[in-house]
Structure 1
Amino acid sequence: MTLFDPPAPLAERLRPRAVAEVVGQTHLLGPGKPLTRLLASGTLPSLILWGPPGVGKTTLARLLAGEIGAHFISLSAVTAGVKDVREAVTEAEGRRARGQKTVLFLDEIHRFNKAQQDALLPHVESGLLTLIGATTENPSFEVNPALRSRTRTLVLEALGEGEIRTLLERALSDARGLSGIEIEPGALNLLARLAGGDGRRALGTLEAAAVLANPVTKEAVTEAFGKHLPVMDKGSEDFYNLISALHKSVRGSHVDASLYWLARMLQGGADPLYVARRIVRIAAEDVGLADPQALRLAVAARDTAEFLGQPEGDLALAQAVVYLALAPKSNSVYTAWKRVTRAVQEGETLPVPLHLRNAPTELMKQQGYGKGYAYYFDDPAGSFAQAYLPGGAELGLYHPGSEGWEGRIQERWRKLKEAHGEAGEPSGDT
């Protein structure tokens, strides 16, 4: 670094120099915990470190390599490829010949495709490379089963507010940090809360706020923090966790939670039309006939969101979510449909009774198609008396719920069941 080079970011300058300096992850590094036991044994297996941003995955990988005296090679799956892996293998072979182990750290390992991940397999299996992969995505979905079977997955947790405060206080007292800068207690607590468990974000915000004010105030923290909202890739675990939370909150009739998860998705960059389709599904699946207007409102919200775009269209989705959360709930049609589709897929194919069949030709009429059919408006009693399933079969598929509109029509449904239960099979039916 020359006199004119800018200093490294605060988070980089304050990287722990020993495992004992790591803040957080006590479930892995505390007395008797998994990593503590591994380091005490002097061995280090290949690992996948899975956790949110800013919790120390890269730092921990470096420190673990240092603890066993291994050479550390760092690659990012965002920019690296199979060629870089081959170069790391060649370097590792040379170091093994001199009696030194090699740890290959692969950041964002989920960015490697199947072929790239497969290129690691023989070298991990032979022990030439000790692989430490870091990922913010669920390895069950993003890392090949063959590679997962050769590694051990450790889950890193978001830092608590107390742990974030420890990092910030260290930054203000450590010679590598911001010595000479002070922070108001309220500003410290605010920053610890806003950081959302991300240590790197907390330190970066503190560094920016220190330029704005000394001592650092709550106003400086707010200005430095700016707008930090999760940006989601469709297909990521966070994306599906949020859509699941939205759906379940609406189903549970919790209005505030429903609005919050909706805002998290839309402000985080989720496709509003995807969210709208899920809202339509909720109306059909969980509100159903308890409020027949719900589906119409959800479809209207979807059309409005498409017509207006963002941010105006988001209000229509919010209106639909509040309506659905407040609405009575029924999944009777949903469960009836699951039963009947299973019955059709797995059961015997039932023939259409002759009197219900279409008879557009004279030959069909001669064969008995449509014979004896009782038209409801001409013969209501006869209509109820005829069978609508062969042999008067009863499948027992639909059972109305007790909420809203469905609760009010239960008596009619009961009387209809009784009327149809008296049905006999007209002669000539099969």
Structure 2
Amino acid sequence: MDLFEYNLEQNQSYKPLAERMRPNNLDEFFGQKHLLAPGKVLRRLIENDRLTNMILQGPPSSGKTSLATIISKMTNAEFIKLNGVNLGIADLREAIKSSKENLRLYSKRTILFIDEIHAMKSNVQEALLPPSEDGTFILIGATTESVMHDIIPPLVSRCKIYSFTHLEPEDHKQIIQLSLQNQERGLADKYTISDEALDYLVDITNGDVRNSLIALENAAYSLHGRNNIELEHIQEAVEQRINGLSQTDFYDIVSAFCKSLRGSNSDGAIYWMARLLYSGVDPMYIARRMVVHATEDVGMANPAALQMALAAKEAVQFVGMPECRMALAQAAIFICESPKSNSAYKAINAALETVKNAKPFDVPVHLRDGTKTYVNPIDNPDTQLEYFPSEMKYHKFYKPQNSGVEAKIYNKHMIKQQRSQ
């Protein structure tokens, strides 16, 4: 580090408040007590400088990068920081080369921290496998996305996954108060904040400390001679609630939406749908999910559900947002309030499993193309034909359920079964 870099490092005034207030040590770190409270395994590994490969997964601004910065100050290893967004093979090779030289020349370990590790291409992730396995470096990855969906399984298997959570409101409030009071890195005790404004700021930013500190700084600097931050100042600084979805949130909310459709809970389905729409999820994706559930979960109990779902899809294409939200809501409620039957779903799955595991039986002669022995059952209702291969005579794939419209089919099958006994 030369003199100019040193002066830049010492001068914090140009940095945003959120960056200045990053914790310098574990005692300044708020939240994640399940991982970093005194006596917890991860804290002991950091304090004893005995780290192993790990991935820190959690929502934005929950402390992943801050913890990595603390580790860089507490460890005796060299610390290399990269970002998965623009990380290529050449950059990784340079890091591997540097790590090997540290071991060979100085017997010193290297910690390779990769922020946004989920953004790396799969072939670059694969290049991490040998050096992270043989100890060339200790890998620390940070991601807001799903480890299982966005990181290749071999890399996941080489790392311990530590799950971060949103900050608790009280921890969040303490960070804001410290930011107001800190003389060196904060707002130097020049401003105060009302309880109402503080509660609102913590609530509307949903545990995202970075965004709350950005809003706090904007509100403070807009006071024009006053020094008390009121609710109206925070409302001006944060115009709308921060409800963005990470990939993990997306999968969880889609799962909740689908389970609400299946569980006939209209309020739940509408709420989770609203979360998806508000966060900018393609309404066509939601329509596709409802087409699936109209056939998988409602099915024969109310065949009109499929028509309703397809009509919602057409509405999405025809009018788009925001108006198509009404058609989506109508279809969701129709699916929820319909009787349920998954008999068609079970029937095709059972048939596919049989086709997969059994040899292909011949088509009966009277069913083959061009046959002279076929009798049309509509014109000859008393004719008995076998529609199965003789070897599968006793197989039964479709089992109607006593629900909705399908109840009539169920009763017909029950009568036929009783007659055959």
The TM tier, using the shorter chain, reads: 0.7 to 0.9
- Residue in 1 that maps onto 2:24: 17
Alignment of 1:10-409 (within 5 A): 10-92=17-99, 95-96=102-103, 97-98=105-106, 100-175=108-183, 176-178=185-187, 179-212=189-222, 214-227=227-240, 228-231=242-245, 236-359=247-370, 364-365=371-372, 369-370=373-374, 373=375, 375-377=377-379, 379-380=380-381, 382-383=382-383, 385-391=384-390, 393-409=393-409
SS of equivalent to 1:15: coil
Distance in 2 (alpha carbons) for counterparts of 1:28 and 1:164: 17
What's the CA shift for 1:323? Answer: 1.4
Contact 1:57 1:134 in 2 (8 A): yes
- Structure 1 residues 184-193 or 221-230, which shifts more? 221-230
What's the CA shift for 1:111? Answer: 1.6
SS of equivalent to 2:111: strand
Contact 1:374 1:386 in 2 (8 A): no
Distance in 2 (alpha carbons) for counterparts of 1:11 and 1:396: 64
Contact 1:58 1:107 in 2 (8 A): yes
Residues 402/82 of structure 1: CA separation in 2 closer, same or farther (3 Å cut): same
Distance in 1 (alpha carbons) for counterparts of 2:180 and 2:293: 50
Distance in 2 (alpha carbons) for counterparts of 1:198 and 1:374: 69
- Structure 1 residues 186-195 or 122-131, which shifts more? 122-131
Contact 1:62 1:72 in 2 (8 A): no
What's the CA shift for 1:157? Answer: 1.8
- State the TM-score, normalizing by the size of structure 2: 0.86
Aligned AA for 1:263? A
What's the CA shift for 1:109? Answer: 1.2
Residues 317/86 of structure 1: CA separation in 2 closer, same or farther (3 Å cut): same
Distance in 2 (alpha carbons) for counterparts of 1:197 and 1:269: 20
Cα offsets for 1:83-117 (capped at 9, x unmatched):
33344345445655346543222111122223323
SS of equivalent to 2:80: strand
Distance in 2 (alpha carbons) for counterparts of 1:36 and 1:5: 28
Residues 326/80 of structure 1: CA separation in 2 closer, same or farther (3 Å cut): same
What's the CA shift for 1:22? Answer: 0.6
Cα offsets for 1:339-393 (capped at 9, x unmatched):
122223323544444444454xxxx53xxx22xx36334x43x13x444435592
Aligned AA for 2:396? G
Distance in 2 (alpha carbons) for counterparts of 1:341 and 1:119: 39
Distance in 2 (alpha carbons) for counterparts of 1:293 and 1:115: 47
Contact 2:49 2:76 in 1 (8 A): no
What's the CA shift for 1:310? Answer: 1.9
- Structure 1 residues 280-289 or 385-394, which shifts more? 385-394
SS of equivalent to 2:405: helix
Residues 43/326 of structure 1: CA separation in 2 closer, same or farther (3 Å cut): same
Q: Which runs of 5+ in 2 are unaligned?
A: 1-6
SS of equivalent to 1:49: strand
Cα offsets for 1:239-271 (capped at 9, x unmatched):
333222211111111112211221222222322
**How large is the Cα RMSD of the aligned pairs?**
2.8
- Residue in 2 that maps onto 1:426: none
Residues 100/388 of structure 1: CA separation in 2 closer, same or farther (3 Å cut): closer
Cα offsets for 1:283-329 (capped at 9, x unmatched):
01111122121111110110110111222222211211121112221
Distance in 2 (alpha carbons) for counterparts of 1:5 and 1:149: 40
Distance in 1 (alpha carbons) for counterparts of 2:198 and 2:394: 68
Residues 334/210 of structure 1: CA separation in 2 closer, same or farther (3 Å cut): same
Cα offsets for 1:195-214 (capped at 9, x unmatched):
22322222222222334555
Cα offsets for 1:53-98 (capped at 9, x unmatched):
1011111112122222333322112133333334434544565534
Paired residue total? 405
- Residue in 1 that maps onto 2:3: none
Residues 352/25 of structure 1: CA separation in 2 closer, same or farther (3 Å cut): same
Contact 2:58 2:163 in 1 (8 A): yes
Distance in 2 (alpha carbons) for counterparts of 1:340 and 1:406: 20
SS of equivalent to 1:226: coil
Contact 1:75 1:104 in 2 (8 A): yes
Residues 163/285 of structure 1: CA separation in 2 closer, same or farther (3 Å cut): same
Greater Rg over alpha carbons, structure: 1
Residues 217/328 of structure 1: CA separation in 2 closer, same or farther (3 Å cut): farther
Cα offsets for 1:1-55 (capped at 9, x unmatched):
78x9963111111111111111011111123211122134332223221111101
Distance in 1 (alpha carbons) for counterparts of 2:69 and 2:193: 31
SS of equivalent to 1:404: coil
Q: Which runs of 5+ in 1 are unaligned?
A: 423-430
- Structure 1 residues 157-166 or 52-61, which shifts more? 157-166
Distance in 1 (alpha carbons) for counterparts of 2:56 and 2:300: 47
Distance in 2 (alpha carbons) for counterparts of 1:348 and 1:66: 65
